[in-house]
Structure 1
Amino acid sequence: MFRNYIKTAFRSLKKNKGFTLINVLGLALGLAICLLIVFYVIDEMSYDRYNLNADRIYRVNNDIKFGGSENSYAVAPAPMAAALQAEFPEVEKAVRFRQNGSFRVKKGNQDIQEHHFIYADPDVFSVFTFPMLSGDPNTALKDPKAVVITERMANKYFNSTNVVGKTLLLDDTVNFKITGVIKDIPKQSHINADFFISMITLAESKEPSWLNNNFQTYILLKPGSDVKVLESKFPKMVKEHVDPQLQNVIHMSYDDFTKTGSYFKLSTIALKRIHLESNMQAELGPNGNIRYVYIFLAIALFILLIACVNFMNLSTARSANRAREVGVRKVLGSARKHLIAQFLAESIMVTMVSTIIALIIAWGLLPIFNQMAGKELSISMQSLVWLVPAVIAIILVIGCLAGSYPAFFLSGFQPIEVLKGKLAAGFKGGFLRSFLVVFQFSISIFLIIGTLVIYNQLKYIQNKDLGYNRSHILVVKNLYALGNQAKTFKDEIKQMPEVANATLTGYTPTMDYRNSNSLFQTATLDVKNALNTQMWYVDEDYVNTLDIKMIKGRNFSKQMLTDSLAMIINESAAKKLGLADPLDKTLYMPLDQQAKHVKGYHIIGIMKDFNFNTLRENVSSLTMVLGEERGALSIRVKSADMPAFVSRVEKQWKSINPNQQFEYSFMDEDFDATYRTEQRMGKIFVSFTSLAIIIACLGLFGLAAYAAEQRTKEIGIRKVLGAGVSSIVAMLSLDFIKLVLISIVIAAPLAWFAMHQWLQGYAYRQNIQWWVIALAGVGAIVIAFVTISFQSIKAALINPVKSLRSE
């Protein structure tokens, strides 16, 4: 019996090659896109799950409101880890990380700049699953100047992993002893490190201050502990430790401090949630976004539904062609269950072939998808463990789901009515088909509107006036490598005829250098007049090099010796100070934890606000003071021949430090990299939307073909009576265009609401314009009309004699 079902199904599908091709192609494209998205989502959801204790590991976050600013930090005070472990029985272990940035590592005569250094407490290997290939994980980081490196770094510098006891020379000054080698950390980790330095090496880690927040702090809870119960104890701990230090610094108790509206609030986030759900200041690295995962899952579901709708639509549309077959089978004694099985067999066969083709398409598109998504996804033996059962489930579920309505609809025909020709044929009267067409095009229009909104927002970001000029700026990185000759290097570069100006500092809008500080309007550090602000150390060329506008006062000057105690503030800082005219006013900064010494800076200028954070955030307070900072040299270039100029700068660099690698970037490219996720999102959205429209059009093309075929006699009579091609095309297209118009009415408000919510993630955004909705609607109508017109014109051009003679 089963063999007969397969044979009959194969014959039926072979007989209707056009129908079969459209179904297979549409379903295969839909399944291929779904598979790619599933690979992406599984990769995003798998971050940090390699840790054996992942369910019990949490990071402690710190929300702070002070000096007119509210900020959420992924860091906590240095002594907090020890306090958590000592004071709370729920905490089994607590460890800290402190990012260092980069070191120069000596390899022979070459200095290699490595960027993935991190200070870590000794217990890090008992909390996180970083398997150690050599060395003792319990003691590896207990001594000063001890370092544990990854397998990749061991092979890079020593061509072996048996390197325990050897040393690494960092920054040409300090030898660090290698005490362990661990396996390379998986890519699905929010901790991206190749070198773990013992925390005891860092003097800052021993400071008792609860007012400075610089350490990522993780806790491992004991089995069965409730993190919510632990969080409820945090306020008491904060008050006990912060209160005496507040009284020393600002002469105010913690209770009085909170009465001013300020606060310190600790919270936790589960390790497995950090990558997708955390976007705080001082993250260990850029994280993903759970919203994009939800969006991609929705797109996958939509595309899959469109493909299944195509199958159902085409199968029911051709029901009239198979009605007599069903009638004859029933007259000859076929039971309804056998007919249902027959039609489901056809559906499952189409799904199986489509799934096999989808796997081939997904495999072929994976490199392109990886490039768009910034991933390194692959089909490995590990992925086959879930992929094979998933493919079998897809074949059965989608095959039965997509073929269920046609099977029950066709098998329910009454043989007498069928053989007498009483069944309605054609497109009209198919309510379900009309509903499914509306459903398809509603999804397509939704995706078109979403794509246009994302494109417009990205274009707005790229063209927005940021308050500084990022074009034609070459950024030479890590001037620390030049030591005391960094200033000489800057002066020599400024002498080049291609250079308009240059500034020596790592504090630029597109780099990660940040320094938060608290300033006060009185030397007694009155908290009521405090200003929590970014405080950047720059040179006298900074403002002019970045073309930042001064709205009052003046820039720093070499000729003014008093500028060593001068300060420039931005508009936001001026507003928060609440002064009618901040010029020549003095702001005070404590120089030690007890605030026994303070330093006063007089305000010499107010600069126009510029976006030094992303456009997702409003411009916050920023102050600049003169100071030596060698993080980078930003060079404004006049020359159009940028490659030649870069070569000249590199040559100058090598003349000072020939063994140190030359690293550079362009500020506009660094800015674009900040929004790389959105750019990738936009490309993927455009690609998936295009494919969704193609799949929907395949179904519409098939429906139009069957509608025209079933109205052959009507078309012939109309032509005999004088109807022209244009009127027949309009008649055949009108039913479909009505459905597309209904789709626009349904999809437009839903898309507007969804994209309005997405735009709320940006402090600076472009409102959804009316023309976006109109363009999407007109585009959908044009796409539908072009798809339908091919079949409509073909039907209208048929000789009426042939169509009537066939009757």
Structure 2
Amino acid sequence: MLQNYLKIAWRNLRKHKFYSFLNIFGLSLGLASCLLITLYVIDELSYDRSFSDADRIHRVNSDIRFGGADMKLAVAPDPLAFTLFKDYPQLEAVARLREDGSYLVRRKSSTENLREDVVSYADSTFFDVFSIPLIAGDAKRILREPFTMVISERLAKKYFGSENPIGQILVLDNNLNYTVAGVMENIPEHSHMSKLNMLLAMTVNSESRADNWGSHNFLTYLKLRKGVSAAQFEKNFETILQKYTGSWVKQIMGATLNEMRKSGSYIKYTLIPLTDIHLHSDRKAEISANSNIQYVYIFAVVAIFLLGIACVNFMNLATARSANRAKEVGVRKALGSKRSYLMGQFLTEAIMLSFFSLLFAMILAYAALPLFNNLANKQIGFPFESVMFWSIALVTAVVVGVLAGSYPAFFLSAFTPLKVLRGAVEQDGKGGYLRNALVVFQFMVSVMLIIGTGVIYNQLNYIQTKKLGYSKDQVLIIKNAYALDTKARAFKDEVAQLPNVQSSTLTSFLPTPSSRTDNTFFPEGEMQQEKGISMQRWAVDYDYIKTLDLSMKSGRSFEKEFPSDSSGIIINEAAAKILGFKDPVGKRIYDLLMDSTNSKRTYTVLGVVKDFHFESLRKNIGALSMVLDRSYGLVAIRLKAANYPQTVAQVEALWKQMAPGQPFNYRFMDEDFDNEYRSEQRVGQIFITFAIISIIIGCLGLFGLSAYTAERRTKEIGVRKVLGASVSNIVTLLSRDFLKLVLLSIIIGSPIAWYAMNAWLKDFAYHVDIAWWMFAAAGLLSILIALLTVSFQSIKAALMNPVKSLKSE
């Protein structure tokens, strides 16, 4: 029986090649899209799962509200980890990381430096928490000795080639000699720590032994013992806060922890599972930018929708051929064939089509994978060697075939032999409603994707054109300025003399991704904790405000003519408002160091700079201050509108002259700004790609249904033409019903799209409003696409000779 089903199915597919192609192509597009998105989702969900006991490893997060600012940190105080380990036997191991930015690195025997972007201090217990195999070195002694390091296998090959790295010396920033004590396997790419290639012994970091409960700078990881609940362990944090943090608050602020809470301020510690960090954590001081679970949900829904509309397309195309298959069904039923046999036949055809579609989908997905990886910034591979992958693929083909073929099988096998053999194909009203509902579903998905794409691109355009309070264009940034050492200021001054340079500044702090430091400030004479303000403290030079094109609201900038400016401070409007200063200029504020000395620095407000977006547009503008201080991380150079390559070459020549052997790295500020929103740009590109695919599949379905309608109403069209109906009358008649369906899909899809995109926009403190014209544009585009699709079949039917359509009567 099965052999007979397969033989007839193959004959039907070969006989109706165009119909088979449309079916296979539409289903393949849906399956290929679903496959790519599934690979993306699996890739995103696999982060940090390669570590053994990953389910028992958690990181401590800190939530702090103080001085009018909310801080969500991925870091915790330096003493927290080992205090917890000492006080609570539920912990099997703890470890800390202190990310220390980039370093210039070279072998001791070399004069040429290379730049390593992510260098971190690590406790010797790091390998007790994380199961990263050591290729060389003694795991029991590693990172215990001062000025020792562990490097990845990648770095070992980079600096030492085939030599044994153990015992070799690497020089950091030209003055720190570190001995390589171990080589670890490369941390898996699917880890939030994948960029860690160099770990320095924590014993060198004096901050790690400061016992400072107020300075939050350490990534803190806890490995719970088997059977210990993270939720239960979290309850111990309140005891820690009362026992240790409370005494620190009392000592520094002169208030108890409860008094601090009553004023609206607080400190909270929570645990986040290691496997949740990549998708559920977007906090200050992350090792690297993480992804967002929201996008995983969005793409998973898109995958389901695309597969759904592909199946809908299959159903519509199958029912569109019902008139052609009706006589076949009538003859077979008249000869004694049971309905169950007919259903089996049609389901077999559907499953066979599904298998062909799956094969074609894999070819499409494999061919499109490099482009998709480029769009998604991934390195996803096809898991050809996975038995589970092939098993799931085969099951999917069967399930999709059954789902897509079930309705046509029920529909076609239900025809009454006598009626269909007389040429009167049954028109089931309920079946018509279902087909219409399927078309509405298809175009509803398309409308939602079109609106989503429009909102994303409108938001990105808003980000690009919004006035930021500073000028990001024509600003060249030179990295690693500390490599210049004592020549840094001289380099900056020499650069300023170049003909195409307006001004230059030397700092580590810029509005684009760079250093950040929060300090606690108090108005003069008011040291109560409720008067405190958490404020960014940026070390700048005299030319900073000029180079970034900032505007002063009141007062003045730093000036060399006033030596007392070394104790001056410039604050932004947000800080003045939080401090309660109506006329800030001349006021004095204290900077509380919050260290073991409890010392403070006093500043006089010289001026107020107009608010500018020094952080992402996802955040409101917070309190910011600028002081004159040494900070040699970066050189920012404002260029005139002239020959940029020539100016960069001149700057590089100066660099090589003043810092021989040091790498020359540069970027433009507007590029850094764009990188802040790279994930949104990728999402927009992926969205528009799948929106186009959904429209193509939807058009195939609409094409099928319009063919079905034209076929069903052939004789009606013939009669109307005999009675004088024009081609335009016929086209209007056949198109009108489909336009109603498209309009209904717009009405249903628009509010759903508005809700989803409004939720997405809430991630931005500054965002566009979802304008009415986005819905109108999406609706008009959908109507136009539907008209173009339907008109082909409508015009074809309208131009048919009525004699041919009526001669069978």
TM-score by length of 1: 0.98
Please give the residue correspondences for 1:586-605 in structure 2 after superposition, counting only pairs within 5 Å: 586-591=588-593, 593-594=595-596, 596-605=598-607
Q: Deviations over 1:551-590 (max 9, x none)?
A: 1111110111110000000011011001221111000123
Report which stretch shifted further, 733-742 or 129-138.
Answer: 129-138
Q: One-letter code of the match for 1:17?
A: K
CA-CA distance at 1:409 after TM superposition: 2.0
Q: Which residue of 1 aligns with 2:656?
A: 654
Q: Which residue of 2 aligns with 1:398?
A: 400
Distance 1:457 1:291, change over 3 A: same
Please give the residue correspondences for 1:772-787 in structure 2 after superposition, counting only pairs within 5 Å: 772-787=774-789
Q: Which residue of 1 aligns with 2:256?
A: 253
Q: Which residue of 1 aligns with 2:59?
A: 59
Distance 1:765 1:270, change over 3 A: same
Q: Deviations over 1:521-569 (max 9, x none)?
A: 1356222321110010001111111111111111110111110000000
CA contact (8 A) 2:212 2:596 kept: no
Q: One-letter code of the match for 1:75?
A: V
Taking the aligned partners of 1:599 and 1:536, their CA distance within structure 2 comes to 14
Residue 147 of structure 2, aligned match among 135, 138, 145: 145
2:159 is the alignment partner of 1:157 = yes
Taking the aligned partners of 2:333 and 2:599, their CA distance within structure 1 comes to 99
CA contact (8 A) 2:519 2:593 kept: no
CA contact (8 A) 2:210 2:596 kept: no
Give the secondary structure class of the aligned counterpart of 2:730.
helix
Distance 1:311 1:381, change over 3 A: closer
CA-CA distance at 1:701 after TM superposition: 1.3
CA contact (8 A) 2:106 2:170 kept: yes
Distance 1:486 1:5, change over 3 A: same
Q: Deviations over 1:721-746 (max 9, x none)?
A: 22111111111111111111111111
Residue 337 of structure 1, aligned match among 318, 321, 340: 340
Q: Which residue of 2 aligns with 1:314?
A: 317
Taking the aligned partners of 1:454 and 1:511, their CA distance within structure 2 comes to 22
CA contact (8 A) 2:59 2:273 kept: yes
CA contact (8 A) 2:470 2:550 kept: yes
Residue 239 of structure 2, aligned match among 236, 241, 260: 236
Distance 1:596 1:348, change over 3 A: closer
Q: Which residue of 2 aligns with 1:686?
A: 688
CA-CA distance at 1:160 after TM superposition: 2.6
Distance 1:677 1:591, change over 3 A: closer
Report which stretch shifted further, 606-615 or 310-319.
Answer: 310-319
CA-CA distance at 1:13 after TM superposition: 1.8
Report which stretch shifted further, 634-643 or 466-475.
Answer: 634-643
Taking the aligned partners of 1:233 and 1:549, their CA distance within structure 2 comes to 48
CA-CA distance at 1:126 after TM superposition: 1.6
Taking the aligned partners of 1:351 and 1:524, their CA distance within structure 2 comes to 74
CA contact (8 A) 2:320 2:707 kept: no
CA-CA distance at 1:506 after TM superposition: 1.4
Taking the aligned partners of 2:796 and 2:340, their CA distance within structure 1 comes to 39
Taking the aligned partners of 1:585 and 1:430, their CA distance within structure 2 comes to 77
Taking the aligned partners of 2:513 and 2:430, their CA distance within structure 1 comes to 62
CA contact (8 A) 1:320 1:425 kept: no
Q: One-letter code of the match for 1:543?
A: I
CA-CA distance at 1:321 after TM superposition: 2.1
Q: Which residue of 2 aligns with 1:167?
A: 169
Q: Which residue of 2 aligns with 1:631?
A: 633
Give the secondary structure class of the aligned counterpart of 2:476.
strand
Please give the residue correspondences for 1:465-614 in structure 2 after superposition, counting only pairs within 5 Å: 465-523=467-525, 525-591=527-593, 593-594=595-596, 596-614=598-616
Report which stretch shifted further, 145-154 or 707-716.
Answer: 707-716
CA-CA distance at 1:429 after TM superposition: 6.6
CA contact (8 A) 1:302 1:443 kept: yes
CA contact (8 A) 1:426 1:706 kept: no
Q: Deviations over 1:89-127 (max 9, x none)?
A: 211111000001111111423111111211111111121
Q: Which residue of 2 aligns with 1:302?
A: 305
Q: Deviations over 1:24-69 (max 9, x none)?
A: 0000011111111111111111000010010000000111111121
Q: One-letter code of the match for 2:786?
A: A
CA contact (8 A) 2:586 2:604 kept: yes
Taking the aligned partners of 2:139 and 2:383, their CA distance within structure 1 comes to 31
2:356 is the alignment partner of 1:353 = yes
Give the secondary structure class of the aligned counterpart of 1:215.
strand
Distance 1:428 1:243, change over 3 A: closer
Q: One-letter code of the match for 2:93?
A: K
Taking the aligned partners of 1:535 and 1:297, their CA distance within structure 2 comes to 42
Taking the aligned partners of 1:390 and 1:161, their CA distance within structure 2 comes to 46
Calculate percent identity across the aligned residue pairs: 48
Residue 770 of structure 2, aligned match among 762, 768, 771: 768
Please give the residue correspondences for 1:147-296 in structure 2 after superposition, counting only pairs within 5 Å: 147-160=149-162, 162-191=164-193, 192-296=195-299
Distance 1:528 1:34, change over 3 A: same
Residue 131 of structure 1, aligned match among 123, 130, 133: 133
CA-CA distance at 1:422 after TM superposition: 4.0
2:33 is the alignment partner of 1:38 = no
Taking the aligned partners of 1:785 and 1:428, their CA distance within structure 2 comes to 25
Aligned-CA RMSD value: 1.5
CA contact (8 A) 2:573 2:610 kept: yes
Q: Deviations over 1:119-156 (max 9, x none)?
A: 11111112112111111222111111110111111111
Distance 1:377 1:592, change over 3 A: closer
Give the secondary structure class of the aligned counterpart of 2:113.
strand
Taking the aligned partners of 1:33 and 1:601, their CA distance within structure 2 comes to 59
Taking the aligned partners of 1:484 and 1:392, their CA distance within structure 2 comes to 67
Q: Which residue of 2 aligns with 1:49?
A: 49
Give the secondary structure class of the aligned counterpart of 2:100.
strand
Q: Which residue of 1 aligns with 2:2?
A: 2
Report which stretch shifted further, 119-128 or 791-800.
Answer: 791-800
CA-CA distance at 1:162 after TM superposition: 3.0
Taking the aligned partners of 2:443 and 2:98, their CA distance within structure 1 comes to 52
CA contact (8 A) 2:703 2:790 kept: yes
Q: One-letter code of the match for 2:363?
A: I
CA-CA distance at 1:260 after TM superposition: 2.0
Q: Which residue of 1 aligns with 2:733?
A: 731
Taking the aligned partners of 1:230 and 1:596, their CA distance within structure 2 comes to 32
Taking the aligned partners of 1:35 and 1:416, their CA distance within structure 2 comes to 45
CA contact (8 A) 1:248 1:595 kept: no
Q: Which residue of 2 aligns with 1:373?
A: 376
Distance 1:509 1:544, change over 3 A: same
Q: Deviations over 1:491-532 (max 9, x none)?
A: 000001101111100100112300100011135622232111
CA contact (8 A) 1:111 1:660 kept: yes
Report which stretch shifted further, 714-723 or 648-657.
Answer: 714-723
Q: Deviations over 1:188-236 (max 9, x none)?
A: 1101201011111111111011011000000000000011111111111
Q: One-letter code of the match for 2:315?
A: M
Taking the aligned partners of 2:306 and 2:382, their CA distance within structure 1 comes to 22
CA contact (8 A) 1:126 1:137 kept: no
Q: Which residue of 1 aligns with 2:95?
A: 95
Q: Which residue of 2 aligns with 1:80?
A: 80
Taking the aligned partners of 1:619 and 1:161, their CA distance within structure 2 comes to 51
2:71 is the alignment partner of 1:71 = yes
CA contact (8 A) 1:134 1:161 kept: no
Distance 1:142 1:261, change over 3 A: same
Give the secondary structure class of the aligned counterpart of 1:430.
helix
Taking the aligned partners of 2:700 and 2:268, their CA distance within structure 1 comes to 56
CA contact (8 A) 2:254 2:529 kept: no
Please give the residue correspondences for 1:780-799 in structure 2 after superposition, counting only pairs within 5 Å: 780-799=782-801
Q: Deviations over 1:294-321 (max 9, x none)?
A: 0000110100000000111121232232
Taking the aligned partners of 1:55 and 1:229, their CA distance within structure 2 comes to 15
Give the secondary structure class of the aligned counterpart of 2:617.
coil
Q: One-letter code of the match for 1:375?
A: K
Give the secondary structure class of the aligned counterpart of 1:193.
coil
CA contact (8 A) 2:260 2:530 kept: no
CA-CA distance at 1:592 after TM superposition: 5.9
Q: One-letter code of the match for 1:392?
A: L
Report which stretch shifted further, 285-294 or 117-126.
Answer: 117-126
